[in-house]
Amino acid sequence: MSITLDEREVVADAADKWWLFLLSGIAWLVVALIVFQWNYTTVYAVSYLFGFVALAAGLNEFFEISISTTGWKVAHGILGALFLIAGIWALVHPHAAFATLSSLVAFFLLFKGIFDIMIAFMAKGQSDAWWLQLFVGILEIALAFWVAGSFRDQVILLVIYVGVTAQFRGVTELIIAFKLKGLRDRIDTDRLAPA
Protein backbone atom coordinates (compact mmCIF):
# COMPACT_ATOMS: atom_id res chain seq x y z
CA MET A 1 0.00 0.00 0.00
CA SER A 2 1.46 3.34 -1.03
CA ILE A 3 0.77 6.64 0.60
CA THR A 4 0.40 10.03 -1.01
CA LEU A 5 2.95 12.78 -0.61
CA ASP A 6 0.60 14.70 1.72
CA GLU A 7 0.09 11.63 3.93
CA ARG A 8 3.85 11.05 4.00
CA GLU A 9 4.40 14.65 5.16
CA VAL A 10 1.84 14.22 7.98
CA VAL A 11 3.55 10.99 9.09
CA ALA A 12 6.98 12.64 8.95
CA ASP A 13 5.68 15.63 10.94
CA ALA A 14 4.26 13.33 13.64
CA ALA A 15 7.48 11.32 13.76
CA ASP A 16 9.48 14.53 14.28
CA LYS A 17 7.57 15.08 17.54
CA TRP A 18 8.73 11.81 19.17
CA TRP A 19 10.89 13.63 21.72
CA LEU A 20 7.86 15.58 23.03
CA PHE A 21 6.23 12.30 24.02
CA LEU A 22 9.47 11.17 25.63
CA LEU A 23 9.46 14.31 27.80
CA SER A 24 5.75 13.91 28.53
CA GLY A 25 6.25 10.28 29.59
CA ILE A 26 9.09 11.23 31.89
CA ALA A 27 6.98 14.04 33.37
CA TRP A 28 4.10 11.62 34.07
CA LEU A 29 6.48 9.22 35.82
CA VAL A 30 7.82 12.08 37.96
CA VAL A 31 4.22 13.02 38.88
CA ALA A 32 3.56 9.39 39.85
CA LEU A 33 6.65 9.37 42.04
CA ILE A 34 5.60 12.61 43.75
CA VAL A 35 2.09 11.25 44.33
CA PHE A 36 3.47 8.13 45.99
CA GLN A 37 5.82 10.14 48.24
CA TRP A 38 3.33 12.62 49.69
CA ASN A 39 1.05 11.82 52.58
CA TYR A 40 -2.53 12.75 51.65
CA THR A 41 -4.89 12.40 54.57
CA THR A 42 -7.74 14.76 53.80
CA VAL A 43 -10.66 14.54 51.44
CA TYR A 44 -9.75 17.86 49.88
CA ALA A 45 -6.11 16.93 49.25
CA VAL A 46 -7.11 13.76 47.38
CA SER A 47 -9.72 15.66 45.34
CA TYR A 48 -7.24 18.40 44.43
CA LEU A 49 -4.65 15.80 43.51
CA PHE A 50 -7.11 14.07 41.22
CA GLY A 51 -8.20 17.41 39.73
CA PHE A 52 -4.67 18.43 38.77
CA VAL A 53 -3.83 15.00 37.34
CA ALA A 54 -7.09 14.99 35.31
CA LEU A 55 -6.34 18.48 33.94
CA ALA A 56 -2.85 17.36 32.91
CA ALA A 57 -4.30 14.23 31.28
CA GLY A 58 -6.83 16.35 29.38
CA LEU A 59 -4.17 18.71 28.06
CA ASN A 60 -2.05 15.70 27.11
CA GLU A 61 -4.95 14.20 25.13
CA PHE A 62 -5.30 17.46 23.18
CA PHE A 63 -1.55 17.34 22.50
CA GLU A 64 -1.91 13.83 21.06
CA ILE A 65 -4.38 15.15 18.49
CA SER A 66 -1.40 16.59 16.59
CA ILE A 67 -0.07 13.11 15.73
CA SER A 68 -3.38 11.30 15.24
CA THR A 69 -5.43 10.45 12.19
CA THR A 70 -8.94 11.83 11.78
CA GLY A 71 -10.83 9.15 13.73
CA TRP A 72 -8.35 9.14 16.59
CA LYS A 73 -8.36 12.94 16.71
CA VAL A 74 -12.05 12.76 17.63
CA ALA A 75 -11.37 10.11 20.30
CA HIS A 76 -8.50 12.12 21.81
CA GLY A 77 -10.64 15.28 21.70
CA ILE A 78 -13.54 13.64 23.54
CA LEU A 79 -11.24 12.03 26.10
CA GLY A 80 -9.41 15.33 26.61
CA ALA A 81 -12.68 17.21 27.14
CA LEU A 82 -13.88 14.61 29.66
CA PHE A 83 -10.61 14.84 31.61
CA LEU A 84 -10.78 18.64 31.68
CA ILE A 85 -14.39 18.58 32.88
CA ALA A 86 -13.56 16.01 35.59
CA GLY A 87 -10.49 17.97 36.68
CA ILE A 88 -12.32 21.28 36.92
CA TRP A 89 -15.22 19.64 38.76
CA ALA A 90 -12.83 18.04 41.27
CA LEU A 91 -11.16 21.39 41.95
CA VAL A 92 -14.43 23.32 42.27
CA HIS A 93 -16.30 20.69 44.35
CA PRO A 94 -13.60 18.74 46.21
CA HIS A 95 -15.90 17.19 48.80
CA ALA A 96 -18.34 15.90 46.18
CA ALA A 97 -15.45 14.81 43.99
CA PHE A 98 -14.06 12.60 46.72
CA ALA A 99 -17.38 10.79 47.02
CA THR A 100 -17.30 9.82 43.35
CA LEU A 101 -13.55 9.62 42.83
CA SER A 102 -13.47 5.83 42.79
CA SER A 103 -16.06 5.73 40.03
CA LEU A 104 -14.27 8.38 37.99
CA VAL A 105 -10.92 6.66 38.30
CA ALA A 106 -12.47 3.27 37.51
CA PHE A 107 -14.07 4.57 34.32
CA PHE A 108 -10.87 6.36 33.34
CA LEU A 109 -8.83 3.19 33.79
CA LEU A 110 -11.40 1.10 31.94
CA PHE A 111 -11.51 3.37 28.88
CA LYS A 112 -7.75 3.94 28.93
CA GLY A 113 -7.15 0.19 29.12
CA ILE A 114 -9.50 -0.53 26.22
CA PHE A 115 -7.84 2.25 24.20
CA ASP A 116 -4.34 0.90 24.92
CA ILE A 117 -5.33 -2.66 23.97
CA MET A 118 -6.82 -1.43 20.67
CA ILE A 119 -3.68 0.56 19.88
CA ALA A 120 -1.45 -2.40 20.79
CA PHE A 121 -3.21 -4.72 18.35
CA MET A 122 -3.25 -2.07 15.63
CA ALA A 123 0.51 -1.55 16.06
CA LYS A 124 1.31 -5.27 16.24
CA GLY A 125 2.84 -5.40 12.77
CA GLN A 126 4.57 -2.03 13.09
CA SER A 127 6.33 -2.26 16.45
CA ASP A 128 8.11 -4.98 18.36
CA ALA A 129 7.00 -3.35 21.62
CA TRP A 130 3.27 -3.76 20.89
CA TRP A 131 2.97 -6.36 23.67
CA LEU A 132 4.08 -3.82 26.28
CA GLN A 133 1.14 -1.55 25.50
CA LEU A 134 -1.14 -4.61 25.52
CA PHE A 135 0.16 -5.52 28.99
CA VAL A 136 -0.40 -1.97 30.28
CA GLY A 137 -3.97 -2.01 28.86
CA ILE A 138 -4.78 -5.30 30.57
CA LEU A 139 -3.39 -4.01 33.88
CA GLU A 140 -5.46 -0.82 33.54
CA ILE A 141 -8.66 -2.81 32.99
CA ALA A 142 -7.90 -5.10 35.93
CA LEU A 143 -7.21 -2.08 38.13
CA ALA A 144 -10.46 -0.46 36.95
CA PHE A 145 -12.48 -3.35 38.33
CA TRP A 146 -10.46 -3.35 41.54
CA VAL A 147 -11.08 0.39 41.99
CA ALA A 148 -14.81 -0.11 41.42
CA GLY A 149 -14.88 -2.66 44.24
CA SER A 150 -15.38 -2.03 47.93
CA PHE A 151 -12.30 0.13 48.52
CA ARG A 152 -14.00 3.52 48.15
CA ASP A 153 -13.70 4.53 51.79
CA GLN A 154 -9.93 4.25 52.07
CA VAL A 155 -8.10 7.47 51.25
CA ILE A 156 -4.74 5.81 50.75
CA LEU A 157 -6.10 3.57 48.01
CA LEU A 158 -7.49 6.59 46.16
CA VAL A 159 -4.03 8.15 46.24
CA ILE A 160 -2.57 4.91 44.94
CA TYR A 161 -5.11 4.90 42.09
CA VAL A 162 -4.13 8.40 41.05
CA GLY A 163 -0.43 7.52 41.26
CA VAL A 164 -0.83 4.32 39.28
CA THR A 165 -2.87 6.18 36.68
CA ALA A 166 -0.04 8.70 36.26
CA GLN A 167 2.45 5.85 36.10
CA PHE A 168 0.51 4.03 33.37
CA ARG A 169 0.18 7.27 31.46
CA GLY A 170 3.94 7.79 31.63
CA VAL A 171 4.67 4.30 30.32
CA THR A 172 2.15 4.77 27.49
CA GLU A 173 3.73 8.10 26.52
CA LEU A 174 7.18 6.47 26.44
CA ILE A 175 5.83 3.71 24.19
CA ILE A 176 4.42 6.32 21.80
CA ALA A 177 7.73 8.20 21.85
CA PHE A 178 9.75 5.16 20.85
CA LYS A 179 7.22 4.13 18.19
CA LEU A 180 7.51 7.60 16.66
CA LYS A 181 11.32 7.48 16.96
CA GLY A 182 11.36 4.18 15.07
CA LEU A 183 9.10 5.68 12.42
CA ARG A 184 11.40 8.71 12.16
CA ASP A 185 14.39 6.39 11.64
CA ARG A 186 12.55 4.44 8.91
CA ILE A 187 11.59 7.66 7.13
CA ASP A 188 15.22 8.86 7.26
CA THR A 189 16.40 5.50 5.91
CA ASP A 190 13.87 5.67 3.07
CA ARG A 191 15.05 9.16 2.13
CA LEU A 192 18.67 8.02 1.95
CA ALA A 193 17.89 4.86 -0.04
CA PRO A 194 18.49 5.11 -3.81
CA ALA A 195 15.32 5.53 -5.86
For the residues 152-176, what does the mean pLDDT come to? 77
Note the pLDDT of residue 1. Answer: 46
Whole-prediction pTM: 0.58
Sequence ranges of the domains in the chain: 5-182
- In this structure, of 107-121, 141-155, 166-180, the range with the lowest mean pLDDT score is 141-155
For the residues 3-18, what does the mean pLDDT come to? 68
Return the half-sphere exposure (C-beta side, CA atoms, 13 A cut-off) of residue 46. Answer: 25
pLDDT confidence of 120, banded at 50, 70, 90? confident
Note the pLDDT of residue 42. Answer: 64
- 162-166: long-range contacts at Cβ-Cβ below 8 A with a sequence spacing of 24 or more? 162/35, 162/46, 162/49, 162/50, 162/53, 162/105, 163/32, 163/35, 163/36, 164/32, 165/53, 165/57, 165/105, 165/108, 165/109, 165/112, 166/28, 166/29, 166/31, 166/32, 166/35, 166/53
- Give the pLDDT confidence of 169-184 residue by residue, as tens digits: 888 888 888 888 887 7
- Give the pLDDT confidence of 50-86 residue by residue, as tens digits: 788 889 888 888 888 877 777 778 888 998 998 899 8
